Homo-oligomer: A and B are copies of this chain.
Amino acid sequence: MALPPEFHEIAKRVNNWGRWGEDDEIGTLNLVTDEVVRSAAAGVRTGRRIPLALPLQQDGVQTGLIPGRINPLHTMIAVNQRMFGPGTVATSDDVVTMALQAATHWDALTHVSHSGRIYNGRPADSITAHGRSAFSGIHTARHIVSRGVLLDVARARGTDRLDGDHAVTPEDLEAAEDLAGTTVRPGDVVLVRTGQIQHYLAGDRHGYAFPSPGLSIRCPEWFHARDVAAVANDTLTFEIFPPEIEDLWLPVHALDLVEMGMLQGQNWNLEELSEACAEEGRHAFLLSAMPEPFVGGTGTPVAPVAIL
Interface residues of A (CB under 8 A from B): 1-3, 33-42, 44-51, 53-59, 64, 66-70, 72-81, 83-101, 110-114, 124-125, 127-133, 139, 142-143, 145, 247-251, 253-254, 258, 286, 288, 290-299, 301, 303-305, 307
Contacts and interface: CB of A to CB of B under 8 A. Distances in A.
Q: Give the 5 A-B residue pairs with the shortest CB-CB distance, closest first.
A: A38-B47, A68-B77, A37-B47, A75-B75, A41-B44
Contacts of A54: 293
A93 B89 contact: no
Given A38-B45, A38-B46, A79-B128, 15 more contacts: A2-B87, A3-B88, A34-B47, A37-B307, A56-B293, A67-B77, A75-B94, A75-B95, A76-B77, A76-B129, A83-B249, A90-B112, A92-B298, A95-B100, A145-B288
Contact of A307 (B41, B127, B301): B41
A192 B187 CA distance: 32
Contacts of A93: 66, 68-69, 99-101, 111, 130, 298-299
Nearest to A123: B80
Residue of A77, A95, A291 with highest tally of chain B CB at under 10 A: A77
B290 A139 contact: no
B114 A89 contact: yes
A146 to B, nearest CB: 9
Interface centre among A39, A78, A258 (most CB of B within 10 A): A78
22 contacts: A1-B84, A38-B44, A53-B293, A55-B139, A56-B297, A68-B77, A74-B296, A76-B76, A80-B113, A81-B130, A83-B249, A89-B112, A89-B113, A90-B124, A92-B112, A92-B298, A94-B101, A95-B97, A95-B100, A288-B307, A290-B304, A292-B301
